[in-house]
Amino acid sequence: MNTLKTGILMAALMGLFIAVGGFIGGTGGMMIAFVIAGGMNLFAFWNSDKMLLKMFGARPVSATSDPALYRMVETLAANAKLPMPKVYVSENLQPNAFATGRDPEHGAVCVTTGLMERCSSEELAGVIAHELGHIRNRDTLIMTIVAGVGCAIGMLANMAMFMGGSGDRERNPLGIVGVILMMMLAPIAAMLVQSAISRSREYEADKAGAEISGRPQWLADALGQIERAAKGLPNHQADANPATAHMFIINPLHGGLSGLFSTHPPTQERIARLRAMDNGTGANGSVSVDVGARPVPQVARAITAARGPWG
């Protein structure tokens, strides 16, 4: 299913590249855009995770630089039966997190300094388990490629301002009006691509995170905490690159079209489902997967070790 989704999304993004290329340079522009789009798809597959981590100023964390955080991720990854992902921290006051990587063997988890400062160790563990759920479900391939190529769509739209208003009526009969429309519609199209990614992936990652940590309530508490704080704290990198918003555990954007094209389900619904799991029932009263009444002992020990930095 992930392969099918990836193919559909890449076809849609390539079509958008070709359309914008045709707007900028006619038939020749379409051919150039086709070649560029194909190359970017390949580049995004191999390198977009590195681009995104760099975009958010993420610094790597090791067992020596931050042993408590590293040990927590290591323990949760082992419980999820995943290879140890790379761990990163982004200097950002907004509490948030995302996962990236084309497959579990190349997975990475990034948390913000705001998340580490505002959340308890239990809540942090719940968030990390959610991101590991994305890696285990192989959502990160779609998320990473869409984010990288979505940003490029915005850049290509900006090129229309310099190349699309030259007065060539054959390729741009609307003149400057067409340029302005292209600059407006291309970013919206990128948001639509984000919205095309099923919202169910967040519910599935929540469920997987609850299984990995053994405590659905940890993630439920974290989601409420993050949403309240995120509403009042900006995430300038995400605001500048809205095509990356779908990667975060909570929508990092403020205002604009972020609500209209949000790829995140309502937070209160996510919390309700997690609390239902904690009580042994699903969101609609069905029996949920057994996550256990207590956190896995190894996870509990990792939480205890982490109480120094986070309390």
Residue range 236-293, pLDDT digits in tens: 888 887 778 888 999 898 755 555 556 688 999 999 999 998 776 444 433 333 444 3
**What domain range includes position 177?**
1-311
Positions of E strands within 71-219: 86-90, 97-100, 108-112
Mean pLDDT of 134-154: 76
* Closest to 109 measured CA to CA, from 79, 145, 137, 70: 70
Instruction: Answer yes or no: is pLDDT of 169 > 60.
Output: no
pTM over 0.85: no
Higher pLDDT: 98 or 1? It is 98
- Alpha carbon 217 to its chain's center: 22
Provide, rounded to the nearest whole percent, the portion of the chain with pLDDT above 70: 61
With H, G, I as helix, E, B as strand and everything else as coil, classify residue 154. Answer: helix
Helix (H) or strand (E) holding 145: helix 140-163
Give the Cβ contact number of residue 98 at 10 Å.
Answer: 29
- Range 234-240 contact pairs with CB under 8 angstroms and sequence separation of 24 or more: 234/93, 234/94, 235/92, 235/94, 235/96, 237/55, 237/56, 237/57, 237/90, 237/92, 238/56
The secondary structure of residue 245, as a DSSP letter, is G
> Can you give the pLDDT at residue 48?
77
Burial annotation 15-42 (CB, 10 A radius, 16+ → b, else e): ebbbbbbbbbbeeebbebbbebbeebbe
Q: What residues contact residue 74 under an 8 Å CB cut-off, 6+ apart? A: 63, 84, 302
CB 193 within 8 A of CB 12: yes
> Can you give the pLDDT at residue 241?
78
How many folded domains does the chain comprise? 1
CB 51 within 8 A of CB 100: no
Q: Which active-site residues does the annotation give?
A: 131
Nearest 10 degrees: CA dihedral of 51, 190, 11, 248?
50
The secondary structure of residue 246, as a DSSP letter, is G
The per-residue pLDDT of the chain, averaged, comes to 78
Instruction: Answer yes or no: is pLDDT of 164 > 70.
Output: no
CB 203 within 8 A of CB 273: yes
C-alpha to C-alpha distance for 38 and 40, rounded to whole angstroms? 5
Determine what percent of the chain falls in helix, strand and coil, rounding each to the nearest 5: 65, 5, 25
Residue 27 Ramachandran class (φ > 0 left, ψ -120 to 50 alpha, else beta): alpha
* Closest to 231 measured CA to CA, from 139, 118, 116: 118
Helix (H) or strand (E) holding 199: none
